[in-house]
A = this chain, B = another copy of it.
């Protein structure tokens, strides 16, 4: 199988984030021939180090002499990345991301690299605040590749969770929440670290604690930082809590519910009652959002994050051989 890759390889897909690089060898029919990755993320690299880091992961896939398109989304295109692919302003058609792609300088003649741009939103004094995304736009393009002309609301949970309003395949507005980062800091760095543990929400009492916390934070967001300290106080005083690991899992579920509920409280007026929110990302985190949304009486459906990013990169690779070679914003 491995020897066949260079022969069947049509292009390479790369999702290059702050801390990791993931790559896929793709054939002409959109099938994945091989996967690779490393922890050579943007934060670990200077511009000259990108090509060696890429070759370390994809070098074995390359044919002897043919030039192979490599489509990259994510932080490699940031100002502090390999080469800047400037943010596209809204409204942004997701089937035309490749028009903002740039080609970084490469030495290996077999590499034809394109970096996809992120999106930016300028404040309009009303619904729109200053906001940026880089990487998520490609997952959204994957949604549009699978459902051309999609209109609706999509959510991409994560360190910086994105909520995105689409009209006919175009991003018209988005909002980012620091939810995942806030949860991580509180769970591992704050006084709450003594009281909480990560939980898969597998136990029913964890699911219940999570759902209760979602409801509380969504209905009284102003008491968020009070409820945070309340986790610690309950750990000290609440005799009804279980002990040891079950206690920490229950309180961890509650912390997760509070942070996600705070996020959802900002969106209650926007959540459609007649259409499902599209959740794009890994299954475990999206399942948590599904539970949070259903707690508030809203429906959702899930699009796997890897499926989405591959479909988005394929849309760029298929439609737009002609990237902007100068690196200027078109």
Q: A-side interface residues toward B, CB under 8 Å? A: 120-123, 129-132, 160, 175-179, 181-182, 185-186, 189-191, 218, 220-230, 232-234, 236-238, 259, 262-263, 265-266, 268
* Residue numbers in B under 8 Å from A130 (CB-CB): 230, 233-234, 236-238
Closest to A79 in B: B236
Copy total for this chain = 2
Shortest 9 CB-CB distances between A and B: which pairs?
Answer: A222-B265, A221-B222, A130-B233, A221-B221, A176-B229, A222-B266, A178-B228, A177-B225, A223-B266
Instruction: Report the Cα distance A268→B222, complex, angstroms.
Output: 10
* Residue numbers in B under 8 Å from A123 (CB-CB): 234, 238
Q: Is the interface of A mostly helix, strand, loop or mixed?
A: helix
Give me 16 A-to-B residue pairs in the complex whose CB atoms sit less than 8 angstroms apart, sorted by A's number: A122-B237, A129-B226, A129-B230, A130-B238, A131-B233, A132-B233, A132-B236, A160-B229, A176-B230, A178-B191, A178-B225, A178-B226, A178-B228, A182-B228, A225-B263, A226-B263
Closest to A263 in B: B225
A79 to B: closest C-beta gap in Å: 9
Instruction: Report the Cα distance A259→B177, complex, angstroms.
Output: 15
* Residue numbers in B under 8 Å from A266 (CB-CB): 220, 222-223, 225-226
With A129-B233, A178-B228 already in contact, 15 other A-B pairs whose C-beta atoms are closer than 8 Å = A129-B227, A130-B234, A130-B236, A176-B226, A177-B225, A177-B228, A181-B190, A182-B190, A218-B222, A221-B221, A221-B222, A222-B265, A223-B266, A224-B262, A225-B259
Asked whether A190 and B176 contact (CB < 8 A) given A226-B129, A263-B225, the answer is no
Contact B179 A225 (CB under 8 A): yes
* Residue numbers in B under 8 Å from A220 (CB-CB): 266
* Residue numbers in B under 8 Å from A176 (CB-CB): 226, 229-230, 233
Instruction: Report the Cα distance A266→B229, complex, angstroms.
Output: 14
Contact B233 A191 (CB under 8 A): no
Closest to A89 in B: B237
